[in-house]
Structure 1
Amino acid sequence: MYVAVKGGERAIENAHAWLAEERRGDTKVAELTIEQIREQLSLSVHRVMAEGSLYDPDLAALAIKQSRGDLIEAIFLIRAYRTTLPRFGSSKPIDTGVMDCDRRISATFKDLPGGQILGPTFDYTHRLLDFKLAADGEVAEAPSRDVEPADVPHVTEFLNQEGLIEEAPHDDTMPPDLTREPLEMPADRALRLQALTRSDEGFTLGMAYSTQRGYGRNHAFVGELRIGSVPVEMEILELGFSIEIGEITLTECETVNQFTGSKTEPPQFTRGYGLVFGQTERKAISMALVDRALRWEELGEDSAGAPAQDAEFVLYHADNIQATGFLEHIKLPHYVDFQSELELVRKLRREAGAHQVQEAAE
């Protein structure tokens, strides 16, 4: 039970004004622009787009600025805005096989058609602070790509040629839309993947890490990790054919996992899959590991009882907006609830004291 808080409107307005002042900071320092955030804090922008389920770098940058860099708050803003947008139609399924890759690596095959592309990554940096950045030093430009993009077939196709990896399932059934319908259990793989795409990166990383430490019998190799742009096409009924409406940047990860076989399947490798907006490779890898852990039942494996294998536990706790809302609501007034609890504790103490006095008298 909650009671109305009267007389707090001015306090709330003042809090908003103070928040705006704190967000702006020292006015002697130039204010950040949306373009600066979009271009120089791009990984934060990509995370907000991914977990906010809206691909718009400018709006994601605006949300980051408004939230003072609190990415979960920025994701909340993006999701709230997304609910106001009309839906004109649906795009065709994207084909990541035609991705123009900025980064493409495999931990399972060294020599790949199209080659391994290290791309823009922190993997080979020394993790030392670069004080040139504090001095506003200019960064040398990267060498330009003078070659035409090569064909980059998926690595798992090589294993498919020998029948060593499970076939990717083909299902033309329209999956449920988690952005419009609440999550319900049991959840099929399509719904689980949607939830993992929107899930909190830190939570998903923790779940993935647990599988690597033995909580889920999930030993995985990164079959392929690729980052790049793919065209988005939409079917236009009036024209009778599809047209390209733009390009988006995606991160895709396929893991190759050990599988001893079952009563119906021979020993082979299985797949874990992750696909996320933007350059978000940590999230994509984590998503693929958790996806594979959640597939234990459909693959006929025994459950180890690990948290990452419990679909209800993972999916109901992965969404940072739901988690934040439930967590932070305890900051709101609970005066009546607490008074009732306080009175109950006082009553129990009085009864316990009276009981002790009675025992002493006897």
Structure 2
Amino acid sequence: MYVAVKGGEKAIDAAHAWLAEERRGDLSVPELSVAQIREQMSLAVNRVMAEGSLYDPDLAALAIKQARGDLIEAIFLIRAYRTTLQRFGGSNPVDTGEMSCDRRISATFKDAPGGQVLGPTFDYTHRLLDFKLVADGAVDPADERAVETETTPHIMSFLNKEGLIEDDVATDGATPPDLTREPLELPADRSLRLQSLTRADEGFILGMAYSTQRGYARNHAFVAELRVGTCCVEMEIPELGFAIEIGEVEVTECETVNQFQGSKTEPPQFTRGYGLVFGQTERKAISMALVDRALRWAELGEDNVGAPAQDEEFVLYHSDNIQATGFLEHIKLPHYVDFQSELELIRKLRRTPETHMTEAAE
């Protein structure tokens, strides 16, 4: 049992004041604004929105500033704030086929239908420090920005000319459970697993995905398509009788193609892995797709080879960085009573052999 300890309020207030000073830093350096964080640290903002389950770049940027750049603390702030928001309803499923793509690539087809759009990416940059950024100079405008404004068909729709890939699993029309409002229960269906993965810690999911590539799940994947862009969000209005657009969100979507040996009921064919994350979050989306495919071993009739990425309970229960942080960091809080009881036990155990030796000598 944990109890509040009185008497440390002044120390806590002083710690808060010191934290504010450290957050501000050297007063001779201009303060970093929320707008600057939102516009110039967009990948960090995207991660906070994705793992915080709240799409609001301004609030995510504010959380990053308040957390001094600690992204997990910022995610915690966003999730806590999210619980205070009133829920008005649910939007319609986002149609990523209608996405306006800033970036769209395929590792399976060189001449992908709709073309390859490289977009803003580190993929082709040299990993060398650019000291010109220290000079605060103006950024050279891009020579050409290719943005797909028309409907860009999914490559998967062109892949199955010979029936070589499994059909896309359609839902039965039922509303999937909401992980942000209901606790995770196992076994989880795929919709619930995907919810868990999309807000899971990026580093953890990356490690799980990497393990599958190294042989701990027999999960050899190809990226059929990776796309980044904006999608319209629509919501049904009962009073109107039709859906209206309420905004746009930037998302990253990844679809992978994986080998499948077939089963008693299914012929050999390719199978799918899927990832969808807020913002430009490519590493997370690809990792999510690999882990999604690894977790599908049972429904595909494959053998469980004991890989960590195939263990639904292990992956889903340990991937949430807020739960992990809370359980980890609570051990730095006062445990005086617990420790004193263990300390006394150790002392008693150490005294017992000495007593027995003394009695034997006598």
Q: Kindly indicate whether the alpha-carbon contact (under 8 Å) linking 2:250 and 2:279 is maintained by their aligned counterparts in 1.
A: yes
CA contact (8 A) 2:102 2:146 kept: no
Q: Where does residue 86 of structure 2 map in the other structure?
A: 86
Cα 1:147–1:94 change in 2 (3 A) is closer
The one-letter amino acid paired with 1:194 is Q
Name the structure 1 match of 2:16: 16
For residues 152-196 of structure 1, what are the alpha-carbon distances to aligned partners after superposition, in whole Å with 9 as ceiling and x for unaligned? 211111122321110011111211000000111111111000000
Correspondence list, 1:67-216, <5 A? 67-145=67-145, 149-171=149-171, 172-216=173-217
1:337 paired with 2:345, answer no
| Residues 314, 146 of structure 1: alpha-carbon distance in 2 compared, 3 angstrom cutoff | closer
Is 2:278 the partner of 1:277? yes
Corresponding residue SS for 1:119: coil
- 1:316 alignment counterpart: 317
Cα distance in 2 for residues equivalent to 1:67 and 1:342: 36
Report the AA paired with residue 48 of structure 2.
V
User: 1:281-315 deviations in whole A, cap 9, x for unaligned?
Assistant: 00000000000000001100000100000000000
Q: Is contact 1:3-1:336 (8 Å) kept?
A: no
Contact 2:119–2:145, Cα closer than 8 Å, also in 1: no
Contact kept? 1:114, 1:150, Cα under 8 Å: no
Q: How many residues align?
A: 361
* TM-score, normalisation: structure 2: 0.97
Equivalent residue runs for 1:208-287 within 5 Å: 208-287=209-288
Secondary structure at 2:160's aligned position in 1?
helix
Is residue 101–residue 147 contact of structure 2 (8 Å, CA) maintained in 1? no
TM-score (norm. length: structure 1): 0.97
Q: Distance in 2 between matches of 1:10 and 1:232?
A: 48
Q: Give the stretch that moved more between structures: 222-231 or 157-166.
A: 157-166
Q: In 2, Cα distance between the equivalents of 1:244 and 1:74?
A: 29
Specify whether residues 127 and 147 from structure 1 end up closer, same or farther in structure 2 by C-alpha distance, changes over 3 A only. closer
Distance 1:356 1:222, change over 3 A: farther
State the 1:5 CA deviation: 1.7
Q: Distance in 1 between matches of 2:314 and 2:48?
A: 23
Aligned-pair Cα RMSD in Å: 1.3
**Structure 2 gap segments, 5+ residues each:** none
Q: Is the 8 A contact 2:49 2:278 kept in 1?
A: yes
Cα distance in structure 2, aligned partners of 1:46 and 1:31: 22
Q: In the aligned structure 1, how far is the partner of 2:220 from the partner of 2:85?
A: 42
1:244 Cα offset (Å): 0.7
CA distance in 1, matches of 2:190, 2:272: 12
- Contact conserved, 1:225 with 1:254, CA < 8 A, in 2? yes
Q: Secondary structure at the match of 2:356?
A: helix
Instruction: Give, in angstroms, the shift of residue 146 of structure 1.
Output: 7.3
1:54–1:82 Cα contact (<8 Å) kept: yes
Task: Read off the aligned partner of 1:61 and give its amino acid letter.
Answer: A
Alpha-carbon distance in 1 for matches of 2:183, 2:3: 29
Equivalent AA in structure 2 for residue 245 of structure 1: I
The secondary structure found in structure 1 opposite 2:222 is: strand
Letter in 2 for 1:43: L
**Counterpart of 2:37?**
37
| Equivalent pair of 1:229/1:248 in contact (CA under 8 Å) | yes
CA distance in 2, matches of 1:182, 1:143: 49
Query: What is the CA deviation profile of residues 321-347 of structure 1, one whole-angstrom value per residue up to 9, with x for unaligned ones?
Result: 000000000011000000000011011
Letter in 1 for 2:271: T
Please tell me the residue identity of whatever aligns with 2:347. R
Kept in 1: contact 2:206–2:284 (CA 8 A): yes
Task: Tell me which amino acid in the other structure corresponds to 2:51.
Answer: E
SS at match of 1:251: strand
Which ranges of structure 1 fall in alignment gaps of 5 or more residues? none
Matched-pair contact (CA < 8 Å) for 1:2–1:335 = no
Task: Say if 1:114 and 1:151, in contact at 8 Å, map to a contact too.
Answer: no
How far apart in 2 are the matches of 1:271 and 1:357? Answer: 72
Q: Is the 8 A contact 2:179 2:195 kept in 1?
A: yes
